[in-house]
């Protein structure tokens, strides 16, 4: 009996192994009428790039046939055959019947089919290509012209290089992306994305029938939008072809795997595969900001993302449709004309440049007209509201005419991308009143400036020397009062500050700096604030105080601390900021206990946040600003540990020329100052880049630069980082709390970027725009950093003043 039981067990095991081998053995790249694949078997492309087989998405229990990357985990599905017709079990079978690829369930019911009308070929074959394309073809030919059907003609939610979106008049196909319903359900969701084409071509994202985003009109050579991102991409090359018979978009393969996905939440995202960290990296999202939302500012409105915090405005010659809604910052209702058009009395045109042209709802186009002829045509038609060139091939030509309301206009971030100007028709009186208003403002400014100058002269002549000094200070504050109010930075009454801080109680004190203490407070409406109270003996003079009030009020960015207002009463000078619950970065990064809460992902987000905030100061704000005192104690952290740059009292503003300036008054903090600034007073944007590099190295190591000492006689954190980098021992530089095994490549990239920023010569350091790009894109090769130079504490330089104005916030008290 025992021998029989052992023999039976062996037979069971053999049959089980044979069954498993039968399921796993099918690894060809093609199906023929004499073959099929069952659930558990796969087609694998010849180059081992893609697999086709049965899968279950997420926590679903249904089975689907799909295509995914062969060697990438987790499984990344790029196409689904039976997305709307799931299998309820694992009994599915995929085969070729009557010249079509057909999916059957276990009962022999047809679940899905290619439904090709060309089913009369003698030797049909289904083949999975290395591009991820499943093709049904004549087995006697490998030519793409022999394709009877291909999955690239029926995309689901993903495009791959070579897959063409758009319409083809010859084939009658219109290819577009449709989102999954959810991560667990690949059936057709509510979002679609593709080329909208009648006479005009542009990409349109819809939720149902509702437009939520549009790319901008194709003008013959490019999309009328901010397409600057394509200039830096090597993972793929985007191609657009618009002719009388087709309007197609596709990506040519690059040096990396890439995919473009219409996600179930309506986000359009581009990913590339990083072989170093073995994961998908998000490159960008098609909608960059609020102004990319379709019709964000309503009809006849224009959106400008740089006009923070309110991005919407009416077009010139228009006014809010509802002033009440407009005042409450609900601006989706749009705008109406101030003065109706009157064709008989000569309407005129207002030119708008560097914009995304409005949606063509009611329009007329003629590609043979020039711009002047287009203008005449618009003047002849009383219903015409605007005109523009319709094409850019071989120079501006063609004509667009808009009728009725204009919608979805935005100011382009990259003004060089705006090659088409829009001419909006206005009543003649509106054009004249605008010109007159400009003249009146100029005259008013001249008169006001003259009166102010005369008044100041009278005061100087009248008052004594001692009283002049006091009176001048008061006048400077009062003279800036209206200016600050205009910049949305109100002046608080002293009683409001006293009530909020409980009369500056010791229990509310959260920090102390070179210019005075900082207090936590709460306004009557419950908003928490931080109040910087400048001491009477403060080194920060009235000019630095007014500089900080006026400057920070103009700056609006998520990585810059927001100023809520100020208070100037008697000898008191106070700044009121948003309260930052988690103190400053140095409180975390240099504390052995606290820095354990900063894992690598959070540290990377902090580095990226600081870099974006600094890029805004250098390039994207209305002024070009050098911070001059960037350091870890000037990086504040909110309740979610998001970084915000603070303390702009020492900042230097470039109004025009962005070149280097020389100053005899050297202010800042030793350890963060660039060598050319500390030694010679040479100040430039690269001075801030150096400080940023120091901060990056401190975040990576958890060691303060000024306190660094090593047994190898290194007294310089920067040189130590560079030496370990050159010797291939960079991992030894990293904070021991970081998981070096899983995020090694990101750490090394950040270290290399930090070392590039602290190089001795300013010309060798990257700009902040390059820094942000290098940190965000692991596909590019970085330069090798040169040995840094460091100014040690205690050295004396002509005109040097270690005038650190930073308030280091301590841990918040409850």
Cα 374 from Cα 366, distance rounded (Å): 9
For 304, half-sphere exposure in the C-beta direction (CA atoms, 13 angstrom radius) is 16
C-beta atoms surrounding 319 within 10 Å: 14
User: CA 536 to CA 144: how far, in whole Å?
Assistant: 82
Q: What is the DSSP letter of 48?
A: S
Distances (CA, A) of 374 to 302, 369, 423, 427, 724: 23, 6, 10, 18, 66
Strands (E), 407-527: 409-411, 422-426, 509-513, 516-522
Joined together, the tokens standing for residue 768 give 């902040």
Q: Alpha-carbon distance 650 to 630, whole Å? A: 10
Q: Which residue has the tokens 């003996």?
A: 537
Q: Is 281 exposed, middle or buried (0-12, 13-18, 19+ CB in 10 A)?
A: middle
Structure tokens at 469: 């000094």
What is the reported pTM? 0.55
Find where tokens 């920090």 sit.
511
Taking the CB of residue 366, how many other CB atoms lie within 10 A of it? 14
pLDDT of residue 295: 93
Q: Which two tokens stand for residue 69?
A: 């990357």
Give the distance between the most distant pair of CA atoms in the chain: 124
The H-or-E segment that residue 625 falls in is strand 624-626
CATH no. of 24-154 = 2.90.10.10
Residue 667 has what pLDDT? 72
DSSP H or E stretch at residue 601: helix 600-615
Token code pair at residue 781: 């090769």
Q: What angle do CA 60, 66, 68 make, to 5 degrees?
A: 100
Choosing from 629, 647, 688, 735, the catalytic residue is 629
Fold of 291-426: Hepatocyte Growth Factor (3.50.4)
Whether 264 is a known active-site residue: answer no
SS3 content of the chain, % helix, strand, coil (to 5): 30, 30, 40
What H or E segment, with its residue span, contains residue 582?
Answer: none
| Cβ–Cβ < 8 Å for 90, 54 | yes
User: What backbone torsions phi and psi does residue 19 show, to the nearest 5 degrees?
Assistant: -65, -45
List the Cα angle 297/299/301 in 5-degree steps: 50
Rounded Cα distance, 810 and 448, in Å: 45
Which parts of 65-212 fold into alpha helices (H)?
Answer: none
Tokens of 180: 């999954």
Calpha distance 466→457 (Å, rounded): 16
Helices (H), 381-464: 428-462
Q: What is the dihedral of CA 133, 136, 138, 139, to 10 degrees?
A: 70
Query: In 225-370, which ranges are continuous DSSP H helix?
Result: 323-327
Q: Are 275 and 282 in contact (CB under 8 A)?
A: no
Distance CA 37, CA 34 (A): 11
Nearest to 489 by CA among 539, 572, 549, 530: 549
3-state class (DSSP) for residue 563: strand
Residues 472-579, CATH architecture: 2-Layer Sandwich (3.30)
Q: For each successive 10 residues of the chain (814 residues), what is the average pLDDT? A: 49 41 58 93 95 96 97 96 96 93 96 81 89 90 78 97 89 93 96 82 91 86 64 65 84 87 92 85 80 92 80 92 82 91 82 92 87 92 91 69 94 72 90 60 69 73 54 41 43 86 87 77 89 66 59 76 80 84 89 85 93 89 83 90 83 58 71 85 90 95 76 70 90 83 78 94 90 84 83 40 32 28
Q: Which two tokens stand for residue 740?
A: 């070096």
Cα separation, 126 vs 144, in Å, equals: 13
502 close to 777: Cβ distance less than 8 angstroms: no
CB 561 within 8 A of CB 636: yes
DSSP letters spanning 639-692: TT--EEE---TT-EEESS--S-EE-S-EES-TTTS-HHHHHH-EE-HHHHHHHH
Question: CA 354, 356, 360: angle at the middle one, nearest 5?
Answer: 140
Using only C-alpha atoms, the chain has a radius of gyration, in whole angstroms, of 33
- Taking alpha carbons only, the member of 411, 386, 383 closest to residue 400 is 386
Three-state SS at 143: coil
pLDDT of residue 756: 95
At CA 580, angle to CA 574 and CA 581, rounded to 5? 130
Q: Are 601 and 744 in contact (CB under 8 A)?
A: no
Q: How far is 748 from 730, CA to CA, in rounded Å? A: 7
Given a contact cutoff of 8 angstroms between Cβ atoms, the answer to whether 294 and 212 are in contact is yes
Handedness of CA 658, 610, 635, 677 (dihedral sign): negative
Question: Strand 301-303 vs strand 279-285: parallel, antiparallel, or unpaired?
Answer: unpaired
**Phi, psi values for residue 330, rounded to 5°:** -95, 100
Cα-flanking dihedrals φ and ψ of residue 415, to 5°? -65, -25
Q: What is the rounded CA–CA span in Å between residue 536 and residue 516?
A: 9
CATH topology of domain 584-809: Transferase(Phosphotransferase); domain 1 (1.10.510)
Cα dihedral 531/536/540/545 (nearest 10)? 50
Give the tokens for residue 690: 């150096």
On whether the CB atoms of residues 523 and 501 are closer than 8 A, the answer is: no
* Burial zone of 536 (CB within 10 Å; 0-12 exposed, 13-18 middle, 19+ buried): exposed
714-722: Cβ within 8 A, 24+ apart? 715/792, 716/788, 716/790, 716/792, 717/790, 718/693, 718/694, 718/755, 718/758, 718/788, 718/790, 719/787, 719/788, 719/790, 721/697, 721/751, 721/754, 721/755, 722/755, 722/785, 722/787, 722/788
Task: Find the helix or strand (DSSP H, E) in which 779 lies.
Answer: none
Please report, in angstroms and rounded to a whole number, the separation of the first and last CA atoms in the chain: 78
């Amino acid at each position: 009996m025992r021998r029989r039981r052992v023999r039976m067990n062996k037979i069971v095991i053999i049959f089980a192994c044979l069954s498993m081998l039968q399921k796993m053995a099918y690894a060809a790249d093609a199906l023929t009428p004499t073959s099929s694949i069952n659930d558990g078997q796969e087609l694998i492309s010849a180059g081992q790039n893609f697999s086709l087989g049965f899968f279950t998405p997420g926590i679903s229990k249904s089975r689907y046939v799909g295509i995914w990357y062969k060697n990438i985990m987790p499984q990344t599905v790029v196409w689904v055959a039976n997305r709307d017709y799931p299998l309820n079990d694992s009994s599915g079978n995929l085969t070729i019947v009557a010249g079509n690829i057909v999916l059957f369930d276990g009962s022999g019911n047809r679940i899905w089919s290619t439904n090709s009308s060309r089913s009369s070929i003698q030797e049909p074959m289904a083949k999975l290509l290395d591009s991820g394309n499943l093709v049904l073809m004549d087995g006697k030919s490998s030519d793409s012209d022999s394709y009877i059907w291909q999955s690239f003609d029926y995309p689901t939610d993903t495009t791959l290089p070579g897959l063409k979106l758009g319409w083809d008049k010859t084939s009658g196909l219109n290819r577009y992306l449709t989102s999954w319903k959810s991560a667990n359900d690949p059936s057709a969701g509510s979002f679609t994305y593709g080329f909208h084409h009648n006479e005009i071509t542009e990409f349109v994202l819809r939720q149902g029938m509702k437009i939520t985003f549009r790319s901008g009109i194709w003008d013959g050579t490019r999309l009328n939008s901010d397409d600057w991102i394509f200039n830096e991409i090597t993972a793929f090359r985007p191609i657009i072809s618009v002719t009388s018979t087709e309007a197609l978009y596709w990506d040519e393969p690059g040096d990396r795997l890439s995919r473009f996905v219409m996600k179930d939440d309506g986000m359009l995202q581009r990913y590339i595969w990083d072989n170093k960290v073995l994961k998908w990296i998000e490159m960008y999202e098609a909608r960059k900001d609020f102004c990319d939302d379709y019709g964000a500012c309503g009809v006849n409105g224009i959106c400008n993302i740089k006009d923070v915090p309110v991005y919407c405005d009416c077009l010139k010659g228009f006014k809010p449709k509802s002033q009440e809604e407009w005042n409450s910052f609900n601006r989706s209702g749009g705008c109406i004309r101030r003065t109706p058009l009157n064709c008989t009395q000569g309407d005129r045109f207002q030119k708008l440049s560097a914009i995304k042209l409005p949606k063509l709802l009611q329009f007329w186009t003629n590609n043979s007209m020039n711009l002047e002829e287009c203008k005449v045509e618009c003047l002849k038609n009383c219903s015409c509201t605007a005109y523009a060139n319709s094409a850019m091939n071989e120079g501006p030509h063609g004509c667009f005419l808009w009728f009725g309301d204009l919608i979805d206009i935005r100011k382009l971030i990259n003004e060089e991308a705006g090659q088409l100007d829009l001419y909006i028709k206005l009543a003649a009186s509106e054009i004249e009143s605008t010109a007159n208003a400009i003249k009146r403002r100029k005259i008013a400014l001249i008169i006001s400036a003259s009166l102010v100058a005369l008044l100041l002269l009278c005061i100087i002549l009248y008052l004594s020397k001692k009283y002049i000094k006091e009176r001048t200070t008061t006048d400077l504050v009062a003279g800036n009062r209206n200016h600050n109010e205009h910049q949305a930075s109100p002046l608080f009454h002293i009683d409001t500050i006293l009530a909020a801080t409980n009369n500056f109680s010791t229990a509310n004190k959260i920090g102390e700096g070179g210019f005075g203490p900082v207090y936590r407070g709460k306004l009557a409406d419950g908003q928490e604030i931080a109040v910087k109270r400048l001491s009477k003996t403060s080194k920060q003079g009235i000019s630095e105080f007014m500089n900080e009030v006026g400057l920070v009020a103009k700056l609006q960015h998520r990585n810059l601390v927001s100023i809520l207002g100020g208070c100037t009463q008697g000898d008191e000078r106070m700044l009121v900021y948003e309260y930052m619950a988690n103190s400053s970065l140095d409180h975390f990064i240099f504390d052995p206990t606290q820095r354990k809460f900063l894992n690598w992902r959070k540290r990377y987000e902090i580095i990226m946040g600081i870099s974006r905030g600094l890029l805004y100061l250098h390039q994207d704000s209305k002024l070009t600003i050098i911070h001059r005192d960037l350091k870890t104690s000037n990086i504040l952290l909110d309740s979610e540990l998001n970084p915000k740059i603070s303390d702009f009292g020492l900042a230097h503003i470039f109004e025009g020329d962005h070149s280097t300036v020389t100053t005899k008054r050297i202010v800042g903090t030793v350890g963060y100052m660039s060598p050319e600034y500390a030694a010679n007073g040479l100040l430039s944007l690269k001075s801030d880049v150096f400080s940023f590099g120091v901060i990056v190295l401190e975040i990576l190591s958890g060691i303060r630069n000024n306190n660094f000492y090593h047994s190898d006689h290194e007294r310089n954190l920067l040189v130590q980082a560079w030496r370990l980098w050159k010797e291939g021992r960079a991992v030894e530089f990293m904070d021991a709390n970081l998981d070096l095994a899983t995020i090694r490549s990101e750490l090394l990239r950040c270290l290399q970027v930090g070392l590039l920023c602290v190089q001795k010569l300013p010309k060798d350091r990257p700009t902040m725009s390059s820094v942000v790009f290098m940190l965000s894109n692991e596909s590019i090769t970085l330069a090798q950093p040169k040995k840094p130079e460091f100014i040690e504490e205690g050295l004396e330089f002509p005109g040097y003043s270690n005038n650190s104005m930073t308030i280091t916030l301590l841990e918040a008290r409850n």
